[in-house]
Structure formats: structure tokens, C-alpha cells
Structure 1
Amino acid sequence: MIYIVIPVFNRWHFTKACVEQLQRQTYKDFKIVIVDDGSTDDTAGKLAEEYPEVIVLKGDGSLWWTGGINLGIEYALQHKADFVLSLNNDTLPKIDYLEKLIEGTKVKPGALIGSTGVNTETKHINFSGEKVNWLTDTVKDLRNEIDKTKRGQLLKVTHFPGRGLLIPVKVFDVIGLFDQKTFPHYMADYDFTFRAIKAGFEVYCSVDAQLGTYPEASGANQLIAQKTWKNYKEHLFGMKGAANLKYYLTYVTRHCPWYLLPISATIGTGKRLTSYWLKK
């Protein structure tokens, strides 16, 4: 049994499309848990009216991503889930998406299995996992490692985002939930997968488990797209800023090997200070 946990705040059109696509899945042994963190567009009411089978948990607007995902995970664990799938509402799973994730767990029992992102407009793969290089504060894009002649490929990664990550419940027994206190919004997912790997679990990206994405829909990308000094401040210090320096420095200190930390943190901080103005 998979419990699919989706934290949401407004954006009903994304939530509706995601739920409808999940209902078309070839794999049927799952339940959808939506954590509505104070939406003002009547998300909870619309779900109750149109999709009464969906479980809705409510927050007061203070949960952010990590608090929302943890609330849903706690519910799933209380109801004897075998797996938890963390998912964003601005995604469109292919109809065999869950089936392919489960196939991945059969090839690599006990591993966390992530999803391959596909741009909903261009239909091109835009994400299939990464490997970090602490020395240069860079990541290796694994899309170039995809063998188009093979089915069922699993690419081993060093970390993975929470957008489409299938997690065996044993992982929570060993390392606990996402670190809500330290990383209330961004970086909690990368931190979680690093912690899982340190505890002896493996993390892979399934090439066949494909998830439609809307890159322009993320709050971080919207800050970058509309370049102002106010947005720059939010980018570096705000909760919605993917380059938040406080969270980044905490994260790199926690996971970078100590002997590479000074150079990695220096390079990473410099990139975050300048990249806002360079990205289009």
C-alpha cells in the first residue's frame, strides 16, 4: 500500500489535474493524502465535493512544505502504509508511474526510488537525478547516462528532491521524518536523502517512472524570472528562496566532508550571491 502525500497551498488547478491523473494509474493499491495548509481557494471543499475518496488533512498556513509532508507521513504510518510517496501538486504522473516505481523497489529492495521529470510542454526529460561534487559545489546531471535501449533503468544518485520520491516505511523507522525544524521548506528533501544514505539505504532515480512537471510554476523560479532587489532578498533570505543562505550553510555543514567544507561552502555561497542575476 502506497500513501501518496501531497502538501498544497492554493493552486487548485494543479491539485485537480494531479489527482485525476493519479486516479488513472495502472497500479491501484494506493491512497491519496492531501495536506491543505490554509488554502484560500477552497481546495479542501472542492476535494470533498469532487474527490471524496481523497484524505484531506488541514494546516493553518504555518506548515510549509516540510511540515505538510511530515503531517501526511505521520498519518500514513498510523494507517500501516508500506511506502510513502512524497509528491508535489504541480506534477502529472504518467498512467504507469506508480507501477514503474514499484518495479524499481523489486529490483532494489529497501531503496528509495525517485522519479524522472518530463517537461509538460516540450515532453523532454528535464531531470533524472544528480550526483554531488562537494569540491566544486556542482552536481553531475545524470540525464546523459540514460540508455534509451534499456527498460527499467535505475540511476544511482547522491541525493534526491521530494517531488516524486517513493520511500519504504523502514526508512522512517531508522532516521525519522524530514527535518522540519532546520529546513521548514527548501533543502529538507536533500537533507533527508543524505541522511538515508548515511544510514545504509540506497537512493535511485527510475528512468521509466516519469512525472510531468511545470518548471515555471515553482516559487523559486518565479523569483528568478522577475528580477528585483526585493526578490533578490527573498531569494537569499526568504522562506521561498531556493538559495536561502542560512539553510544552505546548515545543509553543507551537515553533509559535506569536513576536509572539503571550507572550499565548498565558499564556492557555494559565491554562486548563490551571483547566480540570481545570471539565470534567465
Structure 2
Amino acid sequence: MIHVAVLLTVFNRREKTLSCLERLFSQDRPSVRLTVHLLDDGSTDETSSAVHERFPEVVVLQGDGGCYWNGGMRRAWEDAVELQPDFFLWLNDDTELDADALTKLLRTSAFFADQAIVVGSTRDAQTGGLTYGGVVRPYPLKPLYFERVTPSDRPGSAETMNGNCVLIPGAVAKAVGNLSHEFSHGMGDFDYGLRARQEGFEIWVAPGFVGTCSRNQEAGTWQDRTLPRRVRWQKIRSIKGLPPREWIQFARRHAGLFWPLHWVAPYARVLVSPQRRTK
């Protein structure tokens, strides 16, 4: 029996969380035992009680609203590692898995002797286009620029990944450890994949898609050029943007000798780019 520990962080998306769990437990999974470790980061929409009622087997951990994605996943991981599972599965609660997703991920992992991280690609429910999955850095002079890997009918190599659906074998987890405590929300998933490669592990994108997940929109974020510059400046320095102390850690680790230039680049773009006028 293969034991897969599923890790989630959720906040005020009760219906999405319940739908995600419903699809997870509906997986075709012969000879697979799932344990689910869910960090509810202070939801006010009764997410925890709804999960307890619908899925009493799920371990629900409580956050105080300050965990965010990376911190919440760290807490869930700490809880799951005590069980010494064969695999850890990162899963976003806005990801709805296809019925064969887990089988596809485990089959791909077995092809690489369970010594590689396997990434599941997600598609937009309306257009079918790629939304999240594995990524590569196609330009040597732009080490912090990432492009998504389009899945095909065979595994594809990646350099790191979005954390929406990621299968990590126990051997990889033991060597690389938990997500870094230096990140609050974003960057933790990309950092983990890059650190795993530094430890000598490969990252492979599973064939095809494993489910649906709508892509986060740029509207209202620091990348939204219709917003006033001062608003974009506030947003880029927030936890859900590129908080300077965290972004500097990421750049120092992964951008090479000229990391200060790559670190400052997004802040400079916000300061110099004019506001785009809407019609």
C-alpha cells in the first residue's frame, strides 16, 4: 500500500476547498492510502467545520491568518512528516483533479524510480489552455524569468514548478527538507524546485493534464499597469507581491553573480513604467 500525504493551505474558499477534496477522494487509487493535512489559515466562512462534517478523515490544522501559502504548507508538511509517507502531494484547493490524476503522477514517478519530483499541469476549465505546472528558464541572461512547460504525451523536463499539484517522493523530501521558512506566500514553490535540482534531483512534468485550475488574474496586482504607480508600489512590496526581504533571498540564491541587478529590476519597472490609461 502506497501512502500519499496530501498537503493543502486554505483560506475563505469553502466551496472550492470542498470541491477539491471531493475530487481528491474520488481518485482512481487502487493500493493507495491518502492522508490529508489541511491548514486553515483563519478562515471566517466556516471552512474548517464544513471539512470536518464532509470529510472527517482530514486532519485540519488551524492558522492565525498569518501563515499564507508557504507558511501553511510548511505547517501541513510538519504534521505529515511524522507519518513517514512514501510521497507528499502539494495541492491547491482551487485545483480540481481529473479522475486519473494520482495514477498519472505515481506512474510517472515510478518511471524515474521515485527519485524525481513530478509536476502535474493544470488547464483552464473554459479554454483548456495551460495555467500552471512545470517551468524553465529559457534565457541564461534572465535567470529569474520563467516560462511554463507545455505538457505532451511523455514526461517533460522542468527546472522548477508552480505548487498547484506536485508529487514529491519521500527520498527527495528527506534530502531537500521542508519549504523554506524565508518565504511567506509566493516564491517558496520555485525555491523548493531549484534547491532540489541543486541537490541532484530532477523535475519532470507528467504527461498531459491532471486537472483544472483557473489562472490568477493580473488585475488588481502590482503587475496591473492600469493602477496608479503608488498603488503598484505598495502592492509589489506586500506579502502577496515581491516583499523585498524575501525577494532578495530568492535572487541571491538563484540569480547568480549579478543577482542585485535582477533583484532590483521589478521594482525599477514599477517606478518607471507609466500608468496605462483605460478607455
TM-score range, shorter chain: 0.7 to 0.9
Per the alignment, do residues 272 and 190 of structure 1 end up closer, same or farther by CA in structure 2, a change over 3 Å counting? farther
Question: Paired residue for 2:215?
Answer: 215
TM-score (norm 2): 0.86
- Once the 2 structures are TM-superposed, how far is the Cα of residue 185 of structure 1 from its aligned partner? 1.0
Name the counterpart of 1:6: 8
Q: Which has the higher helix share?
A: 1
Structure 2: unaligned runs, 5 residues or longer:
none
Distance 1:230 1:52, change over 3 A: farther
Would you say 1:162 and 2:163 are equivalent positions?
Answer: yes
In the alignment, what sits opposite 1:26? 28
Q: 1:25·1:98 contact (CA, 8 Å) conserved in 2? A: yes
Counterpart secondary structure, 1:101: helix
Report the CA distance shift for 1:186/1:141 in structure 2 as closer, same or farther (over 3 A): closer
Contact 2:233 2:270 (C-alpha < 8 Å) held by counterparts:
no
Worse-matched range after superposition: 268-277 or 40-49: 268-277
| Preserved CA contact (<8 Å) 1:135 1:263 | no
Cα distance, 1:245–1:25 mapped onto 2, change above 3 Å: same
Pick closer, same or farther for the CA change 1:117–1:221 going to 2, 3 Å.
farther
Q: Number of residues paired by the alignment?
A: 268
Check 1:162–1:273 CA distance in 2 against 1; reply closer, same or farther (3 A cut).
Answer: farther
Equivalent pairs: percent with the same residue?
25
Matched residue of 2:156: which SS?
strand
Partner of 2:56: 52
| CA displacement at 1:221 relative to structure 2 | 5.4
- The one-letter code matched in structure 1 to 2:176 is I
Deviation of 1:169 after TM superposition, in Å, equals 2.0
2:78 aligned with 1:74, yes or no?
A: yes
Three-state SS of the structure 2 residue aligned to 1:250 is: helix
| Amino acid corresponding to residue 7 of structure 1 in structure 2 | T
Q: How many Å separate the matches in 2 of 1:135 and 1:159?
A: 17
Rounded to whole Å, the distance in 1 between the matches of 2:33 and 2:269 is 44
Q: Quote the RMSD (CA, aligned, Å).
A: 2.5
Partner of 1:15: 17
The answer as to whether partners of 1:21 and 1:93 remain within 8 angstroms in 2 is yes
Are the equivalent residues in 2 in contact too, given 1:98–1:209 (CA < 8 A)? no
Q: Answer whether contact 2:132 2:162 (CA < 8 A) is retained.
A: no
Partner of 1:240: 240
Amino acid at match of 2:259: L
Q: CA deviation at 1:90?
A: 1.0
Structure 1 runs (4+) deviating above 6 angstroms are none
Q: How does 1:108-147 map to 2 (within 5 A)?
A: 108-109=112-113, 110-132=115-137, 133-136=139-142, 137-143=144-150, 146-147=151-152
Q: In 2, distance between residues paired with 1:104 and 1:129?
A: 14
Structure-1 residue corresponding to 2:259: 261
Deviations 1:129-152 (A, max 9, x none): 221134134334422xx44xx3xx
- Taking the aligned partners of 2:107 and 2:274, their CA distance within structure 1 comes to 39
| Contact residue 134 and residue 256 of structure 1 kept, 8 A | no
CA deviation after TM superposition for structure 1 residue 275, in Å: 7.6
- Distance verdict in 2 for CA 1:271–1:155, change over 3 Å: farther
Post-superposition Cα deviations, 1:63-101, rounded to whole Å, max 9, x if no partner, equal: 221221111111211112111111111111111111100
Instruction: For structure 1, list consecutive stretches of 5 or more residues without a partner in the other structure.
Output: none
CA distance in 1 between partners of 2:28 and 2:107 (Å): 13
Equivalent residue of 2:20, what SS? helix
Shift of 1:222: 4.4
Residue 250 of structure 1 corresponds to which residue in structure 2?
Answer: 249
